Amino acid sequence: MKRLVGCLMKSMLSASLGFCMLGAALAQEAVERRTLEPLQSPAQSAPLQQPAASEDNAATAQPMPKSAEEAEHGEPSGLAEAADDGDSANVIDLSEPRKPLRIGLVAERGTIYLQARIEPFRSYLQETLSRPVEVIAFNTMRSLMAAHIGHQIDYSVYPAGVFAMAYASCGCLTPIVAPVSKEAPDGTYMLLVVRGESGIKSLSDMAGRTMALSSKNGAVPYFMALNELKKAGLNPDRDLSSLVARSDPAEALTLLRDGVVDAALVWSSTRYNQFLFSRRGAVASFVEQDGKGASDGARLDFVSIWHSPAIPAGPHAIHNDLPKQEKADLVTALKEMNKRDPEAYDAIERYHSGGFRSVDLSDYAPLIEIATTK
């Protein structure tokens, strides 16, 4: 009898242990299933909501559609590759998915065109930074500036003068890189150009003379140049007999060529007179146009008597709230882009072929000074 009771107790103990083990296994499976469930959906944040519309632009920003690969598979390509790895399905990643880097760009030719053109750039950053990257399309530069200042986007690309105005309005943006022209690695200059036969050799000789500006729109670089002229000793408002504005450099240089004015303030990629006619700039373009119709093939007699500080190309800028390490990683990725992925570089930079170099606020200080006082 005792032997029978002992056998029954052993059987019940074994059954209880089996049920416990089975229950533990089922519980563990349930835990794993709940843990893995988020990993079965895209490890990518939801698209950035459209920023609040500005007064002049009711619907200004649109999240860029995903790439074809992401649309088809529902996840970034990096995650798709990881899922195909033999043992990765057994790995539980408890880390939070990284927030997307939000890049704002003006869609001058429409969102669809911007998406197609910018995709190599977006894909390069997403792969290099190992984080989702979203491109937000804006209809106007004004609405993009408002979104960046409000930190609805992290990163954008500006013309130099526009960046100065954006920074002056909040002090919350930082330039990180700018494209480099192989022809003008330091940037562009504003030149004060005169006729060689005029006898004007320096700014002091401009007293009582006339000057033509090559912009009617009050562009920041021209205000900067006038401010720098004041620092150099020539106050256009006080020292010149007249100051006229024209729509473009060709009109200003036409007045100079015809003797209507004594000087013209124009831009150039060089500050040296020996390259004035051959390097990219207003004078070189005018020579090419004027040469086709100049009587007797007369050579233009232009010389520069003053140049502004170099103005770097428009910067890639981030909001100051972007963490320092993310900023450092982004700068590294951008500076290596032209060598590592020329297609990605060409997608974002269409005019300067020399890659990116680091810049900071001091590079745009003359422009910021003007934008701050305006």
Q: Residue 27: count other Cβ atoms within 10 Å of its Cβ.
A: 10
Nearest-angstrom CA–CA distance, 281 and 270: 8
Nearest-angstrom CA–CA distance, 279 and 188: 11
Identify the pLDDT of residue 98: 82
Contact call for residues 307 and 269 (beta carbons, < 8 A): no
pLDDT over 50 at 43, yes or no: no
3-class secondary-structure state, position 202:
coil
Identify the pLDDT of residue 65: 53
> pLDDT, tens digit, for every residue of 150-160?
999 999 999 99
What lies within 8 Å, CB to CB, of 31 at 6+ separation is: none
Amino acid at 38: P
> pLDDT, tens digit, for every residue of 118-145?
999 999 999 999 999 999 999 999 999 9
Identify the pLDDT of residue 359: 96
End-to-end CA distance of the chain, in Å? 106
Nearest-angstrom CA–CA distance, 235 and 242: 12
Contact call for residues 175 and 360 (beta carbons, < 8 A): yes
Q: Which domains does the chain have, with CATH numbers?
A: 61-87+94-184+313-373 (3.40.190.10), 189-307 (3.40.190.10)
Identify the pLDDT of residue 372: 87
Helices (H) and strands (E) in the chain, counts: 13, 12
Identify the pLDDT of residue 137: 96
Identify the pLDDT of residue 242: 93
pLDDT over 90 at 193, yes or no: yes
Identify the pLDDT of residue 69: 47
| Structure token digits, residue 162 | 């526009």
> pLDDT, tens digit, for every residue of 234-292?
998 899 999 998 888 999 999 999 999 999 999 999 999 999 998 989 999 998 886 65
Contact call for residues 242 and 210 (beta carbons, < 8 A): yes
> What is the biggest distance separating any 2 CA atoms in the chain, rounded to whole angstroms?
133
Kindly give the interhelix angle for 365-373 and 220-231, rounded to the nearest 10 degrees.
100
Nearest-angstrom CA–CA distance, 277 and 286: 9
pLDDT over 70 at 311, yes or no: yes
Q: Identify any residues that bridge with 57 across adjacent strands, giving them in sequence order.
A: 54
> pLDDT, tens digit, for every residue of 61-93?
555 555 544 444 444 443 334 334 545 545 545
Contact call for residues 170 and 149 (beta carbons, < 8 A): yes
Identify the pLDDT of residue 216: 66
- Mean pLDDT to the nearest integer, 298-307: 86
